[in-house]
Amino acid sequence: MPFELSYRQTWLHKINPSFKFLLVIALFIYLIFVDNPNLMVNYAIGSVGLYFFFTGHPWKRLLLIALPFLLVFVTSSTSMIFFGEGEETLFNWGLVHITKESLFRGLHLGIRGMVFAILGVVFSLTTRPVLLFYSLMQQLKLKPKYAYSFMAAIRLLPIMLEELQTLRHALKVRGAVGGKGIRGFYEKIKAFAIPMLSQSIRRAHRIAIAMEAKRFLNVNNRTNYYQIGFSKFDVLLLLYFIGVGVLAQFASVNFPYFGIEDVRVIG
Amino acid sequence: MKEITGVEDLRLKFPGTDSLLLKDFSISIKKGEKVLLLGPSGSGKSTLLQVLTGLIPNSVEVPMKAKRVNIPKSWGFLFQDPDTQFCMPYVDEEIAFVLENLAIARDEMRHYITDYLKQVGLQFEDIHTPIQSLSGGMKQRLAIASVLALEADVLFLDEPTAMLDPTGTLEVWETVKKIGENKTLVIVEHKIEQVIDFIDRIILLNDDGVIVADGTKKEIFSDYKHVLVEQGIWYPGVWEDYLRNRSSPNETNAKKPIVTLKEFDVYRGKEKKVHIKDLTVNQGEWITVLGENGAGKSTWLLGLMNLLKTKGCYQIDNQDARRLSKLTDYFAFVFQNPEFQFVTNSVFDEIAYTLRLQNWSEDQIVRKVETLLARFHLQPYAKQHPYHLSMGQKRRLSVAAATVMEQPVLLLDEPTFGQDARNTFAILEQLQQMRNKGTTIIMITHDCHIVKHFATRVLYINDGRLTLDCLPLQYMEEKQQSLEV
C-alpha cells in the first residue's frame, strides 16, 4: 500500500510514545514564552538536527516533507512583518509598512512556527499510532473505549482515500463539472461530502458492531498485546533537549546572531 | 438434541418504518445443526442473526420484544464486508484484539495467533502483516481466525462472500467447512452453490419476514421451488429454469469496428498496469472481461474512459479517442458501487441530470425520463432520494442514469455484484434489450453463467495482459479442461 512508508528504526522510535508526546507538548508551551530570537534560532537548529539525522526516513522524503515548513514560516511571519507596528521604518508601500521591530517580530514568529511544525512531524514520523494508543492506555490510563475507537478510525483513512478517488471518477463520468464560483464550489462540496459521509457513517457503525461481536465491551481485565515500558532512550531524548537548551542559552549569550534579546522590546 | 440458540415470538421494528420487520417470529436451532437462512433482500435475515447473538438490542439499539431469546454461551460472527470487520491495521494485532478481550496472558498470545492462522490456512513470513495488503478472501479468513480465537461453538455467518470473487468465495467456504465440522452454523447467503453441500437444514423466509418453509435441503428444493422462484432467490438450477423461459437473443452480425486499441497502456501513477497489444471491439458485441481481482480489469476500463493516463493508439469510430471533445458521448460507464454515481436528490433528477447538462427542453426531458423510469421499473420511486432505494433499485437507476444519452458503448464494472436472482435477471434483460438496439457492451464479471448465456466474446486479463480473446464456448471448454487437469 502506498500509505505505508518504509523507514529505518532509530532510537527515536523506541521512546515511550506517551513520554514523547508529553515532552513535545511541554516544549511547545515553553517555546511560547521564549522571546529571544537568538535562542529561538538555536532551538530551531536543535530540532532540525533531530529531524534530519534521527527519524530514520530517507533524505528525499525528509526534504519533501520539509517543503511545507517553509510555507509555515512564510505564512506565520509575513503578516507580522508587513503589518506589525514599529518605529524604525525600513520599507513603506501602501498598507505594507515594514519596520525594524515588525521585521524581527515576524521572523521570530516564523521560526517559532517552524520549530512547532518540525517537532510535530518528528513525533508523527517516529510514532506508530497503535503503539501511541497502547501507551496512552497503559501510562496515562486512557479508557480502552476511546483508544480503540481512534485506532479503528485510523484504519478507515486509507479506505476513504480510495473512495474519494472512485467518487472523483464517477462524477467526472457523469459530467458533473459544476458551475463556477461560490455556487460551483458549494455544489462540489455537496457532491463529495454526502456520499463520503454516508459511507463513513455506515462503515463506522459496522466496525463498531464487529468490535462488540468480538466481545470488546464486556471486559474489565483485558490484557495487552503490546507492553509499552520505559527505556534508556527516554532519558536520552530528555538529555538531548536539556543539552540543546543549555547550548542554546550559552550560544545566544556568547555568540548572538542579532543584537536583540527580546523581540517585545526592540530599539 | 438440545436447542443451542433460538427466539420465541419476536417482534421487531426499525425506527422510521411503518410496519414490523419481524412479527411473532419463532425459530429454534439445535446443537450441531448447519442451517441456511434463505429469503429475498430485506426479509430480516441479517437482523435475525443479530438478535440471536444479542447484538440487537445490546449493541444496536432497535426496539424489540420477545418472549424468550436464547443467546448461545459462546458465539462468533462473520460479517459481509471484509473491510469493516477489523479495527487494527495488522494481522497479528487484530487477533490479539480478541485475545485481549478474553484476557489471555500476553506471552501466550503469539502462540495462539499462529495457531489460529494456521487453522484457516493463512501463512505469513511475518504475522505482523498489514491487513490492507490481503485479498478479500484472505481478509475473510482472517475474520474466521478471530472467530476461532473466541472459541465459539456457534458461528453466525452473514453473507461472508457477497463481496468476494470466485477464488475468494471458494477459499472462505472451504475454511468454514473445515473448521465448522463440530460447530453449529447459522448461515445467511445468496450465492448458495458452495454452501449447499454441507448444509442440512434450510429455513425459507418471504418478503414479510415470515417462515414459509423449514426442512431438509432436499424437501425445500423439491417442494418449495415455486416459493424460491417467486421470491427471486438463487437456487441450484435457477439458470436452467430462467433460460427455458427466455426468448433467444437476436444475433447481430454487423462487424463494424467501434473501438480499436494498439499497444495500449494504462498507467496508475508512474506504474504501467495494463498493456493491450492489439484489440478491436465491434459494434453490437457483448464482451465479458474476466480475470482475478487485481489483474487490471477495472484499471483497463478506467483507462478507456480516459480517467487514468494512457499511451498508445486508441481509436473510437476511427477517430483518435484523445482528440474527442467528449468521450462521454460515446461511452457510458456504470461503477461497481451505484451510490458513488448519484449526484442529485431524487430518482427523477438523477436520470434527467445529463439531459439538463445537454440543455434539453423540459418537455423532452420529462418524456425521456418517464420512458426510462418505466423501462427500469422505477416509476413509483421517481420522487425518492436515490439513497433510499433498495440494492437492486439503486443498481437499475445507475444503469438508467448512465445510459440516458444512448451512447453506443456501455462499460460496466460488475453490475450484478451482490444482487439476488430476480435483480440479476432484470439487469441482464435490460442490457440484452440495449444490445439488440445496437449498443456494444463491455462488462467485468465473475459470473460464468453470464459468460455462457449472454456474452458473445470473452477477454481474460491476467496480470495486466490480455491472455485470452475467444468465444464464450471456447472459454468454457478451456476452463473445464483446466479444472480436470
Q: Give ipTM to 2 decimals.
A: 0.85
What are the start-end ranges of the H helices in B150-296? 166-179, 217-223, 225-231, 238-245
What count of residues does chain B have? 485
Q: What is the mean pLDDT of residues B35-47?
A: 86
A39-42, Cβ contacts within 8 angstroms, sequence gap of 24 or more: A39/A248, A39/A249, A39/A252, A40/A108, A40/A111, A40/A112, A40/A115, A41/A111, A41/A257, A42/A244, A42/A247, A42/A248, A42/A251, A42/A252
pLDDT higher than 70, residue B247: no
pLDDT higher than 90, residue B253: no
**Hey, are the CB atoms on B106 and A225 less than 8 Å from each other?**
yes
pLDDT tens per residue across span B25-35: 999 999 999 99
A-chain residue closest to B149, CA distance: A214
What pLDDT does residue B327 have? 85
Q: Is A188 on the interface with B (CB under 8 A)?
A: no
Banded model confidence at residue A132, pLDDT cuts 50, 70, 90: very high
Stretch among A3-7, B18-22, B411-415 having the lowest mean pLDDT: A3-7
What pLDDT does residue A29 have? 95
Q: What is the mean pLDDT of residues B327-354?
A: 87
Residues in chain B within 8 Å Cβ distance of A215: 98, 101-102, 150
Of residues A16 and B270, more confidence is placed in A16
Assessment of whether the complete model's pTM goes beyond 0.90? no
Euclidean distance between CA atoms A201 and A205, whole angstroms: 6
Closest approach of chain A CAs to the CA of B340, in angstroms?
5
**Which secondary-structure segment (H or E) carries B311?**
strand B309-316
**Hey, are the CB atoms on A171 and B343 less than 8 Å from each other?**
yes
Of residues B256 and A237, more confidence is placed in A237
How far is the first Cα of chain B from the last one, in angstroms, to the nearest whole number?
Answer: 43
Q: Judged by CB atoms within 8 Å, which residues 250-309 of B form the interface with A?
A: 302, 305, 307
Q: Residue A221: which of B93, B103, B307 has the nearest Cβ?
A: B103
Stretch among A42-51, A74-83, B63-72, B236-245 having the lowest mean pLDDT: B236-245
pLDDT higher than 50, residue B357: yes
Banded model confidence at residue A261, pLDDT cuts 50, 70, 90: confident
- Please tell me which of A146-155, A256-265, B226-235 the model is most confident about, judged by mean pLDDT: A146-155
Q: Is B114 on the interface with A (CB under 8 A)?
A: no
Q: What is the mean pLDDT of residues B172-185?
A: 93
B-chain residue closest to A171, CA distance: B341
Mean pLDDT rounded to a whole number for chain B: 89
Dihedral, CA of residue B132, residue A119, residue A138 and residue B95, to nearest 10: 10
Of residues A62 and B240, more confidence is placed in A62
Residues in chain B within 8 Å Cβ distance of A159: 83
Banded model confidence at residue A2, pLDDT cuts 50, 70, 90: very low
Q: How many residue pairs from chains A and B have C-beta atoms closer than 8 A? A: 133
Banded model confidence at residue B473, pLDDT cuts 50, 70, 90: confident
**Hey, are the CB atoms on B150 and A224 less than 8 Å from each other?**
no
What pLDDT does residue B251 have? 60
What pLDDT does residue B351 have? 93
pLDDT higher than 80, residue B485: no
B-chain residue closest to A226, CA distance: B106
Taking alpha carbons only, the member of A266, A237, A258 closest to residue A42 is A258
Residues in chain B within 8 Å Cβ distance of A196: none
pLDDT higher than 90, residue A260: no
Of residues A65 and B481, more confidence is placed in A65
Euclidean distance between CA atoms A248 and B135, whole angstroms: 53
Residue with cell 517537532: A119
Q: Judged by CB atoms within 8 Å, which residues 193-252 of A form the interface with B?
A: 195, 198-199, 203, 206-217, 219, 221-225, 227
**Which secondary-structure segment (H or E) carries B75?**
strand B75-78
Q: What proportion of chain A, given as a percentage, has pLDDT over 90? A: 54
**Hey, are the CB atoms on B87 and A195 less than 8 Å from each other?**
no
**Hey, are the CB atoms on B89 and A130 less than 8 Å from each other?**
yes
Residue with cell 511560547: A32
What pLDDT does residue A3 have? 47
Residue A90, number of CB atoms within 10 A of its CB: 13
What pLDDT does residue B252 have? 55
What pLDDT does residue A263 have? 84
Banded model confidence at residue B376, pLDDT cuts 50, 70, 90: confident
pLDDT tens per residue across span A49-64: 999 999 989 999 999 9
**Three cell numbers written together for A24:** 513535545
Q: What is the mean pLDDT of residues A230-251?
A: 94
pLDDT higher than 90, residue A155: no
Residues in chain B within 8 Å Cβ distance of A206: 79, 81, 84
What pLDDT does residue B281 have? 93
Taking alpha carbons only, the member of A1, A15, A74 closest to residue A240 is A15
Question: Cα angle vertex B164, ends B163, B165, to 5°?
Answer: 135
B-chain residue closest to A217, CA distance: B101
Euclidean distance between CA atoms A168 and A171, whole angstroms: 5
pLDDT tens per residue across span B430-467: 899 899 888 999 999 988 888 888 999 999 999 999 99
Question: What sign does the CA torsion over A148, A152, A155, A157 have?
Answer: negative
What pLDDT does residue B15 have? 78
Euclidean distance between CA atoms B1 and B186, whole angstroms: 16
What pLDDT does residue A1 have? 35
Q: Is A97 on the interface with B (CB under 8 A)?
A: no
Of the residues A225, A226, A227, A228, the best mutation for testing chain B's interface (the one with the most B CB atoms within 10 Å of its CB) is: A225
pLDDT tens per residue across span A22-76: 999 999 999 999 999 999 999 999 999 999 999 989 999 999 999 998 898 998 8
Q: Is A171 on the interface with B (CB under 8 A)?
A: yes
Euclidean distance between CA atoms A44 and B282, whole angstroms: 66
Euclidean distance between CA atoms B410 and B330, whole angstroms: 8
What pLDDT does residue B40 have? 79
